[in-house]
Amino acid sequence: MDLLEALRAESGVVAVVGAGGKKTTLYALAARAASDRALRAVVTATVRIPIFDQQVETVVVTDDPVAALEGTTEWPVGVVPEREGERYVGFETGVVDALAAADVADVVFVKADGARTREFKAPDDREPQLPRRVDTVIPIASVHAVGKPLSEKYVHRPARVAAITGRDRGDPIRPVDVARVLASDRGGLKGVPDGATVVPLLNKVDDADLQEIAEAIAREIIERAPAVSRVVLGRLIDDDPVVDVVEE
């Protein structure tokens, strides 16, 4: 199964949240949508995003992404409203909704929260910034977090993770802790609108031992979250990034 099909990210608005490979996932999805499927693929954000000009054909800085994309012929394209230093600013969610409603793109990939390059996270009160028209939400966690201490070195907002899991700061992260966060409406499911598809992604599955850990997490997520019917195991830096798909 290819990445787009596995993550149910072939059309509409696809938002990526969590930690441990969001940007890599966004760019991999956009590249495959444009090259393998000849789709009009757009990359954008509703939060700040590092400069990604090298990951797409071009980045357009504009207040009107719909007008900017009319007549575009080379995909994928990035659209953002403003640059600040080494980051782009994200659009308001309503702008992405308007972009989704217009016939200028087949699929819009959205970075909808931040994680400061950590392996695992839970969102704060202002996150995620999901467009109302989102079709698919992909909550991400890195399996490299398992066994690491619940600390700021590895986890973005460890206090939030501790509140969901019942663990203490400094405790080793267990597979069930990752599952609890991704399956929680205070974690990976936070703010997901009714009708949207949720496909969690467990990233950095680098070997057989990590695959066994990821499979245990995936089964626990599916058991805990009725809204989730599949979990993708991946290694997003690979040319063939889908390691396995666990389904109910």
Domain presence at residue 92? no
Domain presence at residue 73? no
DSSP letter string over 10-50? Answer: SSEEEEEEESSSHHHHHHHHHHHHHHTS---EEEEESS-EE
Domain presence at residue 70? no
Who's near 56: CB < 8 A, 6+ residues apart? 27, 30, 43, 76, 77, 78
Domain presence at residue 45? no
How many domains does the chain divide into?
Answer: 1
Domain presence at residue 112? yes
Domain presence at residue 66? no
Q: Write the pLDDT tens digit of every residue in 3-12.
A: 999 999 999 9
Q: Write the pLDDT tens digit of every residue in 168-224.
A: 999 999 999 999 999 999 999 999 999 999 999 999 999 999 999 999 999 999 999
Do the Cβ atoms of 177 and 167 come closer than 8 Å?
Answer: yes
| pTM of the predicted structure, to 2 decimals | 0.98
Who's near 52: CB < 8 A, 6+ residues apart? 23, 27, 43, 59, 78, 88
pLDDT at 129: 98
Domain presence at residue 229? yes
Q: How far apart are CA 73 and CA 244, in angstroms?
A: 34
Q: How far apart are CA 204 and CA 210, in angstroms?
A: 8
Q: At 116, is the pLDDT very low, low, confident or very high (cuts 50, 70, 90)?
A: very high
Q: Which helix (H) or strand (E) holds 211?
A: helix 208-224
Do the Cβ atoms of 217 and 143 come closer than 8 Å?
Answer: yes
pLDDT at 238: 96
Polymer length of the chain: 248
Range of 202's domain? Answer: 3-39+107-247
Q: Identify the CATH number of the domain in which residue 137 sits.
A: 3.40.50
Domain presence at residue 67? no
Q: How far apart are CA 120 and CA 18, in angstroms?
A: 7
